[in-house]
Amino acid sequence: MNLLLAEDNLPDALLVREAIRMEDLPLDVFVAADGEKAIEFIARAERDPDAPAPHLLLLDINLPKLDGFEVLKRLRASGKYEGIPVLVISSSDSPSDRSQAAELGARYFRKPPSYDEFLKLGGVLKQMLKDAGAL
């Protein structure tokens, strides 16, 4: 299964990989460093059957070029992958960000300033895969 990680901050991307590894989740991680690249990945998957398809989207809000919510809105309107599970990750714990994510059918994970806390992301992803019937 493929996980599309839209994240411009390399340290965070590494932490996400680490969380996945710790939980030993069967996920291949593709990283898009900005919003446009994330949209391109999805678009290519829609066009090209040989391109990797996103089964799970992990989306940072503060992305260059196109922010996370804009990416999410386009995904929800895309057709083929509109229903895939999405987890919004952000440094912010703003209630409005949380509610906006919920409105767009995404779960929300606040990036905590602690390693152990961050690794809990793995548990959340595992649960999402279970919910999606992939585990």
| Shorter beta-carbon distance to another protein: residue 55 or 65 | 65
Q: Minimum CB separation from another protein for residue 76, in Å?
A: 21
| Shorter beta-carbon distance to another protein: residue 42 or 88 | 88
Q: Minimum CB separation from another protein for residue 82, in Å?
A: 26
| Shorter beta-carbon distance to another protein: residue 34 or 54 | 34
Task: Point out which residues bind another protein (CB under 8 A).
Answer: 9, 11-12, 15, 62, 91-96, 99, 111-116, 118
Edge-to-edge order in the sheet of strand 2-6: 28-32, 2-6, 56-60, 86-90, 107-110
| Shorter beta-carbon distance to another protein: residue 19 or 27 | 19
Q: Minimum CB separation from another protein for residue 41, in Å?
A: 23
Residues with Cβ within 8 Å of 5's Cβ and at least 6 positions away in sequence, in order, are 13, 16, 29, 30, 31, 32, 58
Q: Crossing angle for the helix pair 115-131 and 10-23, nearest 10 degrees?
A: 60
Q: Minimum CB separation from another protein for residue 20, in Å?
A: 16
* CB contact burial 96-123 (16+ within 10 A = b; e otherwise): ebbebbeebebbbbbbeeeeeebbebbe
